Amino acid sequence: MSLPQQPHASALLAEASDVKDAPAQDLLAWAERRFGARAAIATSFGVEDMVLIDLARQHAPSLRLFTLDTGRLPPETYELMEVVRKRYGVTVETYFPERERVEALESTQGYFSFRQSLEARKACCAIRKVEPLARALAGQQAWVTGLRREQSVTRTDVATLEVDSAHGLLKLNPLATWSSRDIWDYVRANGVPYNALHDRGYPSIGCAPCTRAVKPYEDERAGRWWWESAENRECGLHPVR
């Protein structure tokens, strides 16, 4: 007996045309009605993701919540993970990189190979992030992210709804048009917990050795892989157009 065919992502995009310009809470509510647990929120526990989690608990409680534990996250991120788990009463599904691939990388290339070249950094991200993401999204119809256009030069064209061709899914970015001020206004108005590193000059937080605080004049993702040019500061989870 054959399994029912999943709708193609482009068909889902067309189906969602009525909500593509809707407020974040309405887009999440649509995802709840349309997908339920067949959609998942990807979180790295940055402040945008915390707003997304808070909104989803109100408007899309059936959506799964997952994170990619690269093995090199700051302790503050793990502390926040536990706060989220207890405060919202949710399961945070955690995906690790494949042990054998990490062992081979570190044994042959050392512990900071990602600083040797752009290719070496992308190879590390592919092992620690891209491959676990593919496992996290397997069997899903859609995924939800906290991407915003204001974050960096690589994200200025982020749409609220788009086709993720790499995984064959509909991708929802409900906060795409939100400003940093919008995010922090929501956090303060609703008492949303956030990563302690944000108060220490880290607007964007990834793996500990690849993230630093930024200067006041720098963009929000300037502290991510700061030794690289701005147009390269993505890890492969969200391909640059």
Give the residue carrying structure tokens 């919202």: 88
d(CA 39, CA 64): 6
3-state secondary structure of 170: strand
The token pair that represents 149 in the structure block: 């256009």
Neighbouring C-alpha atoms within 13 Å toward the C-beta of 218: 16
- What is the edge-to-edge ordering of all strands in the sheet holding 93-95? 93-95, 64-68, 39-42, 142-144, 169-172, 161-164
> What does the block give as tokens for 64?
């799964």
Q: Say what the alpha-carbon torsion angle 144, 173, 43, 170 is, to the nearest 10 degrees.
A: 30
* C-alpha–C-alpha distance, residues 66 and 51, integer Å: 15
Paired with 142 in beta bridges are 39, 170
124 as an active site residue: the answer is no
The active-site residue, picked from 124, 207, 210, 235, is: 235
Active site residues: 235
